[in-house]
Amino acid sequence: MKMTYRTTVSKCLVGLATIAVGSATALAGEVNLPSQISWTAYGTTSSGYAQSIGIGQMLLKKYKTSLRVIPGKNDVSRMVPLRAGQTPLCACGIASYFAQEGAFMFGTKKWGPMRIYNIFNNIGDNGQQAVSAGDAGIKTIQDIKGKRVTWIKGAPALNMNMTAFLAFGNLTWADVKKIVVPGWKQSAEAVINGQADVTWGSTVSSSYNKLAASPRGLYWLSLPHGDKAAWKRARAFAPHWAPQMVKIGVNLKSNQSGKIPHEGMNYPYPIFVATNKASDDLAYGLTKAVLDNYESIKDSGPSMSGYQLSKQNLKWIFPYHPGAIKFYKEKGVWTAEHDKRNAELMKRQDVLAAAWKKVMAKNVADDKFSAAWKKERAAALDAAGMPVPFR
């Protein structure tokens, strides 16, 4: 039966699939990719999912490689396929860092610190921040006091970011009404439907088009870059935050300044990470395919500008996969300084793994395990002279 290109892409982008790393490959230049790959991502209404679709179309067209995206409604569900070996790749949010650290939802007996490696990221011109309903009477972060704020089950990344956002305004969860929802999509819908007033996400998430078009409207809250005390409070909870002038977003002009860009925050999203089950060929080929084909994907999804070699932060919070490092070396951007940083991050994973083995050997009762692991983790990192976020 003859298939159209659209049908083929559609079939490739839905559902769960295992990755055939050792299968017959399609060659294009120096890129050597499997005929089929998969990765996990946020749900179908997220900007990360939309970006994955754009990349998938490019991979199919240029390399005859089919991509299937495995959507997950929260941080834990996105990491499960990696742990189970169903796929070695994730187009993740900052929860991937929590998984590496064994923090929050990943600090239980079922999880523990994961050895994961960066390959490339998208650091775009959008922002990651809270958005409020336009009719909620919220004009500054301080105005959130007493309002309804979403808390997403099993999503420590989103919840920690919101915690940091509240801290920026010198607020805590005790100052707001916590509205618990089962997933990110439901958090946006809660604001649209009048069940909540504030939620967290990317400024380009498609669900915010519905909020902007709804009777409630939307309003973006700024993070003044000159308020050093506020940034210090926020970074105590979210060390990955960085100030950014946000240029792209849904109805972005509706913000405190009334101008574009406005003062906000961003960090890479999606963060493309891999487990050690990803071969060097896969990590090298995918990194090269995406970063060398930026011109082909830049208009295929929201906020794609971060998929450029010049935007990559090679000294961030994860060690890089050897296959990806090969690509960066070929491009002449990987230096001895990056080697040093990578070795430090690899050692950090060793320290975390050893601490995990030690605490697991103690047979701590389930109800006391979280506290015991936090103590063991902090002690091990302190002894190694390494930072202890999420202490």
Q: Tell me the mean pLDDT in the region 273-299.
A: 96
SS3 state at 149: strand
Average the pLDDT over 1-17 and give the result. 39
Please give the structure tokens belonging to residue 228.
């050093």
The torsion of the CA quartet 79, 82, 86, 92, rounded to 10 degrees, works out to 60
Q: Give the mean pLDDT of 216-240.
A: 93
Domain 128-266: assigned CATH number: 3.40.190.10
Long-range CB contact pairs, 356-361, < 8 A, 24+: 356/102, 356/112, 356/113, 360/109, 360/112
pTM above 0.85, yes or no: no
The predicted structure's pLDDT at residue 94: 86
Same fold, 5-123+269-344 and 128-266: yes
Residues 6+ apart with CB under 8 A from 111: 83, 99, 102, 105
Mean residue pLDDT across the chain: 90
Q: pLDDT tens digits, residue range 84-135?
A: 999 999 999 888 999 999 998 899 999 999 999 999 999 888 898 999 999 9
Which CATH number describes the domain made up of 5-123+269-344? 3.40.190.10
What residues does each domain of the chain span?
5-123+269-344, 128-266
pLDDT in tens, 29-78: 489 999 999 999 988 888 889 999 999 999 999 999 999 999 987 778 88
Look at residue 228 and tell me whether its pLDDT is greater than 70: yes
